[in-house]
Structure 1
Amino acid sequence: MTARILRRLREANDWQTEICAVLTELGHGLDVHRSILFRLREVPGKGFAQSIAAYWVDDTVESNTEPPTLIVQSIVNNDPLLERLAEEVRQGKIFAGHTRELSGFLRQDFENQKIKSFLSVAVFAHGHVWGTLAVNDCLVEREWTGDEKASLEIVASAIGDTIERSLSDTNVSDIIRKTMLQASLDGIVVIDETGSIIEFNPAAEKMFGWERAEILGKDVLDTLIPEYYRPGYATGGEYMSGRGIPMIGQRLETVTQNADGEIFPIELTATEMKVADRRLFFGSIRDLRDRRRAEEEINRQREKLHQNEKMAAMGSLLAGVSHELNNPLAVVVAQSTLLHEFAPDPQTKSRAEKVRAAAERCGRIVKSFLGMVRLHPTTQTETDLNQVVRSALEVTAYGARSGGIGIDTDFAEGPVLAMADADHITQVVANFLVNSQHALAAIAADRRIKVRTFRTASGASGFSVEDNGPGIPEEIRPRIFESYFTTKPVGVGTGIGLSISRSIVERHNGRVRFEPVEPQGARFVVELPAVDQSIAIAAAGRPAASGLRNALIIDDEPDVAGSLADILELMGVKSKLVIDWTSADEELASFEPDIVFSDLRMPGVNGMVIYRELLEQRANLAQRFVLVTGDMIGARAEIEALPAHLRPQLLEKPFSTLDVRGVLAAITDQVTLAR
C-alpha cells in the first residue's frame, strides 16, 4: 500500500489531483474509517487556522457522518491541550491515542464525530509545517502499531515532497489567479456551503463598502442579500441550496445591498465549485447602476426627440390648417369691417362688429397655436404683454370653461410693453394656464385662476398666473423647472412645459420664478425688460399712410382678393385683381402699381417667385411689395433669407382695416426713406 502511494505521488505533476485517491488508498490500507489532510492557513484578522485540504470517509460506517472540523486560532488560544499539540506538531511529534483520554475542545469535537481512536503526523514543506495527515477509527479503541505509524509518516513525508515539487508550477497558477482576482473590475465574492464569505476582492470592497478583513467569515445572508429575500433561510448556504440553485451557471440581473443598506441592481454570474468534497459558490458581480442611469438618459433623450418630432409634425399640420382657415377668415373679417363701415343703422353696425370680432378671435387662436408649435428663432419686437396674455387666455379658454374654472384678470393700464417674441411669450402664459387648470382638476371648492400684468419700480414689465390649487410641495420645488420632471399622471403631462417656459424667458433676458400662495395655491411670475415708453409713444403717433393710389392684388382666392380691394378702396387706393398669374411683362404692360399685394402660397406659383420676377422688371417695387399669408412663421423664414434691404412687408390673414392701414404706412415710410 505504502509503495503504491509513493509511486502515485512521485509521478503526480500536482498533488491536488492525486490526494483524494491517496487518502482513499491510505484509509483502506490502514483499515481506518477516515483519512484527512489538514492545512494550516492564515485567516486575515484571525491568525492561523487548521482547514481541510482533503478527506476520505468510509461510507459503510453509519455513525461516521460529520465532516472534519475547521479549528481557528481563537479556539487554540483558549484550550491548553490544543496549544500543547500545536507546539508538538511544529516539533514533528506524532499525536495518537483514544478520545476518552482527551479533554477540552478536542474531546467534545471527537465525540461529536464518533471518533474512538486517532493518529496524526505533521506534513513539512520547505522546512515549515504545511499541515497534518490524520487517520481515525470510529468503531473501536485501537492501539496503533509501529508499522502503522511508520506508514503514516512515510506517506506524510511523500506528500510534503510532492507539495514542494509542485509548488513551482502551482505557485505560478496561484499568482495568476490572485492577480486576476485583485485586478478584476467585477466584484468577486466566494462563499462556502455554510454561506460564510471566504473571498472578497478589491472591486467588491469598492462596490459594497465593506473591507475584506471586516466581511470575511460573515454570512452572505446577513450582509449582501436584501432583507426581504432572507425570510425562510437560516444561512446563506441554505439560501444558495434552495432558491439560489437556479442562479448556478446563469447570468442574471438581480439586486443586492451594500454596507449602508442601499439596494442596487447587479448582474450576477454564479458558479458552483467542488474543492475536497466542499461546495463553494463563486459569484462574479457587476454593478448596473451606471448602466441603468445611462439607459434612463437614453430613454429621456429618446422621449425628448419623440416630443420634438410630435411638435414638428403638429406645426406642419397647423401650418396647413391655418392657411385653409385664414383665407375664409380674411373674407369674413374684411367683409364684416366693410359692413360695419357702410351699415345704414346702429343694429346692423353692432351685428357686423360682433361678426368681425369673432372672426378676428378665431384668427388669433390659430396664430397662437401655430406660433407655439413651430420652432423658429426668437424675434424680439415691441410687444404688449396685455395682448399676449389675452391671446393665451383665448387659446386656453375652453379648458377653463369645461372645468368650471373662473378666470380673474387684472391688466395694467395702457400697453405693458416689452421686447419679446409674442408667439413664444404666449406659449409661456398658455403653459402656466394649462398647468393651473390641471392643478385645479381635483379641487372640489371654488376654482379660480388669477392673471395680472404689471410694471415694476425698476422699469421691467411682467405678468403672473396664480391658482388656488394644492400648490407645489416644498421638497420638489427646486426641481419643477427640470426637463421631464412632472408630478402629473402618465398621459397628462410630459414634464417639459416649465422647462421650455424658463428657456424662453431666459432667451428674452427675463426671469421666471415660483411663489407659494397662502393659504394654498401656486403663482408663477415672469419679468421681462421693458421698452422705452417715449419710443412707443412716438411710434403710436406716426401719421397715416398717404401717396399710394394704385394697388396690384395677386391671390388665387377671389373673395380674399376682393375683400382686400374693398378695404383699400376705403383708403383711396384703386386695385387691379389678378387671380391667375401669367408673367410680370403681361401684368405690368397696362398697369403701373404703387404697391403690390401677393399671396404667399398659391397653386402653380409662389409669392416669392412673383416678387423676384417683379424686381427684374421694376427694381423700385422692392420697397412696395407686400406678402399676404396665413402662415406667418413660414413666411418669416423665407423673408429672413433675403438681404435686409430686399425684404418685403407682411400682411397676415385674417387682416382688419387697421392691419391694412399699418402696412400702407410702413410702405410709405420705406418709399420716403428711399428717396
Structure 2
Amino acid sequence: MRRLRLAIDWRQDIDEILELLGRSFRGHRAIVFSLEDAPGEGLTQTVEAYWVDKSIAAVSAPPSIIPQAIVHMDPLMGRVAEEGRQGKMFAGLTRDIEGFLRRDFENQHIKSFLSVPILANGSAWGSIAINDCVNERVWTDEERAAMEIVALALSDAIERSLSDYHVSEVIRAAMLQASLDAVIVVDESGKIVEFNPAAEKLFGWPKAEIVGRDVLETIIPHYYRKGFSNGGEYLAGRGAPMVGRRMETVTQNAAGEIVPIELTAMEVKVANRRIVIGSVRDLRDRLQAEEEIHRQREKLHQNEKMAAMGSLLAGVSHELNNPLAVVVAQSTLLHEFAPDAQTKVRAEKVRAAAERCGRIVKSFLSMVRLHPSAQAETDLNQVVRAALELTAYGARSNGILIDSDFAEGPLLVMADADHLTQVAANFLINSQHALAGVQHGQRSIRVRTYRAAGGSAGFSVEDNGPGVPEAIRDRIFESYFTTKPVGVGTGIGLSISKSIVERHEGRVRFEEVKPHGARFVVELPGIVSSGLHVAEGAAGSPGLRRALIIDDEPDVAASLSDILDLMGIRSDVASNWLAASEMLKAGRQPDIVFSDLRMPTVSGMSIYRQLLDEWPLLARRFVLVTGDLVGAKAEIEALPVSERPFMLEKPFSTLDIRGVLAAISDGAASH
C-alpha cells in the first residue's frame, strides 16, 4: 500500500508489488486484469500485469484473455462480471465452479482463487487476483480484507495515473502538434516513429509516408551517409556527438535540398528501448535576415565612406579651385594679349591643362553629390571624355593603352551628365582592375561612342583581360556580388551603374570578347539638339555694363574682373559685404553681382538673401561663385525654384562666364 501511494506510475512498480503480494499470501500466481474496449470484440478482460512462481513449471503459462462474447455465452461469467461491477469479491475452489472458468483454471492448474474488483472513477476498471496452484484452501477473513485493502490502494493509484496520464498525454500531443519547430522521434534502429506537422512542412514528407522509414535514407544529407548501412549505425556513430547538444548543422528535405538547421537532440529510454528525440529549427529565414543585415551594414558603410569622401573632396576642391580659377583666367588673358604666336600656344597649353584639372575636380564632386537626377541635353562624347580624364592616371601608371573612337558631332541624349560620367568611369576602372593581373602581351582598353539603329545613342568599354566566367555572368549586376579580391571592390559598382542607366530609360549589357576579354555596352534614347546653346564666340551681353565682385581672394576677384573687362564689363571689387553694401548705398548700382560662396564674415547665400530683401531687382542678376556646391546644396534647394541664384563654378572658363551673362540677359529680357 505504501509503494502504491508513493508510486509516480504504478505500472513501473506493479511487477514487484505482485510478487510481494503473491509470496505474502503463499500463492503461486498474482494477476492484475483490466477491462478494455477492443475493436470488434467489445469489452475484453486483458492481462495488465502478472507474477508466477517459476519454481512450479505447471503454472508458467500467462493468464487467459477473456473476450465479451464468452461472458455473454457463459452464465457464471455473466454473474461474475455483474457482481464485479457491483464491487463484490469472487473467491472459491476450482472444483466448485462450472463452465469456461473451470476449464480455464484447470488448464492453468489453479486449485483456489481470490479475485477483488478494482473500481476507478466510479466504474469497473478490472480486478486483482491471487491463485493457489498447489492446495485447495479456504480464504480467511483477514486474507479477504487484505486483498480488498490492496485493491482500494491500487484503485487510488490507477485514478491518479488515469488523470495525470491523460492530461499529460493531451498536453504532450497538443505541444507536439502546435510546435513551430520540427520534432522527430527516432528509435534505436534508426526508424522514424514520430513526425509532427512542423516536420512535415520543413522536410516535405507526409507523416504517413515517412514514419517507419530509416532516418539515414530520408533526412540525413547524402554526403553524410557514407560508411553507414542504416540509421542505427549512424546514430551510434556520427549522430552520437549530437545527442545532448544544441548545434547548427544541415539536413535534407524530400526534394533533395540541403537545409541549414539548428538541432537539439536528447536520448531517453522507454521500456528498455533507446529513442532519440530531435527538435529541429529551420535557419533559412534567420540566415537570410542576417545576410540582409550584413548587406545593409555594408551599404551603410559604403554610404558613410562616400559621404566622408564627399566632405573631403568638397574641402579640397574649395581650396584647389581658387588657384585653378586664377590660372585659367590668367592663362586666358595671356593668350588674349600675347605678343607672339609662340606665347599664345604656351598660354593655351597652360589654360587647357588648368581647365582639365578643373573638370576632373568637378567630376569627382559630381559623383559624390547626393542630388536627384537632373536631366538635360547631354553629349555622350563629352561624358566619355570626362570619364577618361578621371581614370587616365590609373591607366597610364599601369601601362594600359587607351584606344578611343568617338562618333562625329554631338551625340545627344537627355541625361544627367554627372551620373553617366560615373557609369563610364566605373566601367573603365573595372577594366583596369581586370587587366591588373595580366602579365603578358599588350593590355588595352577600347572606348567607343556610336549612333545605333532607331535613333539611340550609346557607348562601350572593352578590354582584352580575362573576361567574365560564364557561370557568373548572370550575377555580375547583382548588388554586392564581386569577383575582385578583398579591399579592391565592393560589388556595388555595376548594380549602381545598371540602376542609373535604367533610370535614364536605357539598357546596359555585357558582351563576351573573343578570344578573351569583356565589353560593357550602354544604349540610351537619342534626341535632336534644341539649338538653345550659347554661342561661344559671343563677345558680351547687351545691357550689362558694370559688375560688382565680392570675394575675399584678391587674385580670384582680379582674374574675374579681367575676363569681364575683355567682354566690355567694368568691375568694382569688394573683399567683403560691408564694403559692397557701402557701394550700393552710395548709389553705385551695378548691372550684375558676383559673390563668392565661402567668406570669413558673411557668406554668399547671406548676401543673396539680403539683396532679395533690400534690392530685389539686383537679386535677379546675382551670381554665386563657388568651388563647393555640395555644401551649399541644402541652402539653395530650400529656396523656391524661381528665387534660386545663378551659379558659376570654379575654375571658370571664358565660356562659363559668357553662359552666365547670356542667361542673366535672357532673364532680364523676359521681365
TM-score band w.r.t. shorter chain: 0.7 to 0.9
Of 551-560 and 394-403, the range deviating more from structure 2: 394-403
Aligned to 1:669: 666
Q: Deviations over 1:310-336 (max 9, x none)?
A: 111211111111111101111111111
Q: Distance in 2 between matches of 1:556 and 1:312?
A: 28
Q: Does residue 406 of structure 1 match 2:401?
A: yes
Q: Contact 1:253/1:268 (CA < 8 Å) preserved in 2?
A: yes
The separation in 1 between residues aligned to 2:665 and 2:423, in whole angstroms, is: 35
**1:121 counterpart = 2:63:** yes
In 2, the alpha carbon distance for the partners of 1:349 and 1:667 equals 31
Q: Which amino acid aligns with 2:577?
A: W
Cα contact 2:550–2:580 (8 A) shared by 1: no
Residue in structure 1 matched with residue 392 of structure 2 by the alignment: 397
Q: Give 1:123 deviation, angstroms.
A: 6.0
Instruction: Give the Cα–Cα distance (whole angstroms) in 2 for the partners of residues 422 and 466 of structure 1.
Output: 21
The answer to whether structure 1 residue 439 and structure 2 residue 381 are counterparts is no
Task: Tell me, yes or no, if structure 1 residue 631 matches structure 2 residue 628.
Answer: yes
Query: d(CA) in 2 for partners of 1:155 and 1:287?
Result: 56
Q: Distance in 2 between matches of 1:216 and 1:633?
A: 68
Equivalent in the alignment of 2:289? 294
In the other structure, the counterpart of 2:97 is none
Aligned position for 1:600 = 597
Q: Answer yes or no: is 1:275 the counterpart of 2:270.
A: yes
What are the equivalent positions in structure 2 for 1:512-523 lying under 5 Å apart? Answer: 512-523=508-519
What is the TM-score when the length of structure 2 is the normalising length? 0.77
- Superposed CA offset, 1:435-482 (max 9, x none): 222222333333222212222343333222222333334443333322
Kindly tell me: are residues 236 and 27 of structure 1, through their superposed partners in 2, closer, same or farther at Cα, counting changes over 3 Å?
farther
The answer to whether the aligner puts 1:480 opposite 2:470 as a matched pair is no
8 A contact 1:20–1:276 mirrored in 2: no
* CA 193–163 in structure 1, closer or farther in 2 if over 3 Å, else same: farther
Q: What is the alpha-carbon distance in structure 1 between the residues aligned to residue 619 and residue 395 of structure 2?
A: 46
CA distance in 2, matches of 1:478, 1:179: 47
For the residue of structure 1 that corresponds to 2:455, the secondary structure is coil
Structure 1: distance between partners of 2:228 and 2:461:
58
Contact 2:47 2:63 in 1 (8 A): no
Change (3 A) 1:508 1:127: farther
| Change beyond 3 A, Cα 1:211–1:465 | same
Q: 1:470 aligns with which of 466, 473, 476?
A: 466
3-state secondary structure, aligned to 2:410: coil
CA contact (8 A) 1:512 1:524 kept: yes
Q: What residue number does 2:370 align with? A: 375
Could you tell me which of 503, 506, 512 is aligned with 1:507? 503
Q: CA deviation at 1:639?
A: 2.9
Deviation at 1:365, TM superposition (A): 0.9
CA shift for structure 1 position 610: 0.9
Q: Distance in 2 between matches of 1:608 and 1:334?
A: 24
Q: Which among 614, 618, 621 is matched to residue 615 of structure 2? A: 618
Residues 473 and 27 of structure 1: is their aligned pair in 2 closer, same or farther, counting only changes over 3 Å? farther
For the residue of structure 1 that corresponds to 2:578, the secondary structure is: coil
What secondary structure, in the 3-state scheme, does the structure 1 residue paired with 2:459 have?
Answer: strand
Partners of 1:648 and 1:198 lie apart in 2 by 80
Instruction: Find the counterpart in structure 2 of residue 527 from structure 1.
Output: 523
Deviations 1:218-270 (A, max 9, x none): 33344333344455666544554555555444332222222333222111222
Where 2:635 maps in the other structure, the secondary structure is: helix
Distance 1:538 1:579 in 2: 31
Matches within 5 A, 1:167-566: 167=162, 169-230=164-225, 236-241=231-236, 244-443=239-438, 444-536=440-532, 544-566=540-562
- CA 1:124–1:521: 2 relative to 1, 3 Å: farther
Structure 1 position 560, deviation (Å): 0.8
Deviations 1:563-600 (A, max 9, x none): 11111111122211111331654131152211111001
CA distance change for structure 1 residues 119 and 399 in 2, over 3 Å: closer, same or farther? farther
Q: Separation in 2 of the partners of 1:24 and 1:222?
A: 45
Task: Tell me: CA distance 1:615–1:538, structure 2 relative to 1, closer, same or farther (3 Å).
Answer: closer
Q: CA deviation at 1:286?
A: 0.9
Contact 1:121 1:153 in 2 (8 A): no
Structure 1 residues 549 and 36: alpha-carbon distance in aligned structure 2, compared to 1, 3 A threshold: farther
Identity %: 66
Of residues 661-670 and 311-320 in structure 1, the stretch that sits farther from structure 2 once superposed is 661-670
C-alpha displacement of 1:287: 0.9
Distance 1:276 1:582, change over 3 A: same
Q: CA deviation at 1:214?
A: 3.0
Asked if the contact 2:58/2:108 (under 8 Å) is kept, the reply is no
Contact 1:553-1:575 at 8 Å conserved across structures = yes
CA distance in 2, matches of 1:639, 1:205: 61
- Show structure 1 runs of 5+ residues with no match: 42-46, 48-87, 99-114, 129-142
* Closer, same or farther: CA 362–471 of 1 in aligned 2, 3 Å: same
- Name stretches of at least 5 consecutive residues in structure 2 with no aligned partner: 71-106, 116-126, 132-146
- The aligned amino acid for 1:559 is D
Asked if structure 1 preserves the Cα contact closer than 8 Å seen for 2:377 and 2:529, the reply is no
SS at match of 1:356: helix
Q: Distance in 2 between matches of 1:446 and 1:116?
A: 104
Larger radius of gyration, structure 1 or 2? 2
Aligned to 2:650: 653
Alpha-carbon distance in structure 2 between the residues aligned to 1:26 and 1:347: 130
- Asked whether the equivalents of residues 545 and 666 of structure 1 are also in contact (C-alpha less than 8 Å), the reply is no
| Aligned twin of 1:73 | none
Work out the CA distance in 2 between the residues paired with 1:439 and 1:37: 85
CA distance in 2, matches of 1:38, 1:542: 119
Question: For residues 241 and 459 of structure 1, what CA distance do their matches in structure 2 show?
Answer: 73
Secondary structure of the 1:119 match is coil
Structure 1 13/315 Cα, relative in aligned 2: closer, same or farther at 3 Å?
closer
| Cα pair 2:380 2:413 within 8 Å, conserved | yes
Deviates more, 1:119-128 or 1:210-219: 119-128
Q: Structure 2 vs 1, CA of residues 642 and 125 (structure 1 numbering), >3 Å: closer, same or farther?
A: farther
1:91–1:656 Cα change, 3 Å: closer
**Distance in 2 between residues matched to 1:293 and 1:636, nearest whole Å:** 38
Closer, same or farther in 2 for the Cα pair 1:641/1:462, shift >3 Å?
Answer: farther
Asked if structure 2 preserves the Cα contact closer than 8 Å seen for 1:550 and 1:594, the reply is: yes
Pairwise CA RMSD of aligned residues? 4.1
Q: CA deviation at 1:535?
A: 2.6
TM-score by length of structure 1 reads 0.77
Match of 2:80 in 1: none
The answer on whether the counterparts of 2:479 and 2:492 sit within 8 Å (CA) in structure 1 is yes
Which deviates the most, 307-316 or 444-453? 444-453
Q: Which moved more, 1:155-164 or 1:434-443?
A: 155-164
What is the CA-CA distance between 1:667 and the residue it aligns to? Answer: 1.9
Do 1:584 and 1:613's aligned partners in 2 also have CA atoms closer than 8 Å?
A: no
CA distance in 2: counterparts of 1:498 and 1:382, whole angstroms: 24
Specify the alignment match of 2:569 in structure 1: 573
Gap change, CA 1:353 and 1:225, over 3 Å in 2: same
Name the amino acid aligned to 2:669.
T
Query: Number of residue pairs matched?
Result: 589
SS of 2:474's equivalent?
helix
2:83 counterpart residue number: none
Letter aligned with residue 271 of structure 2: A
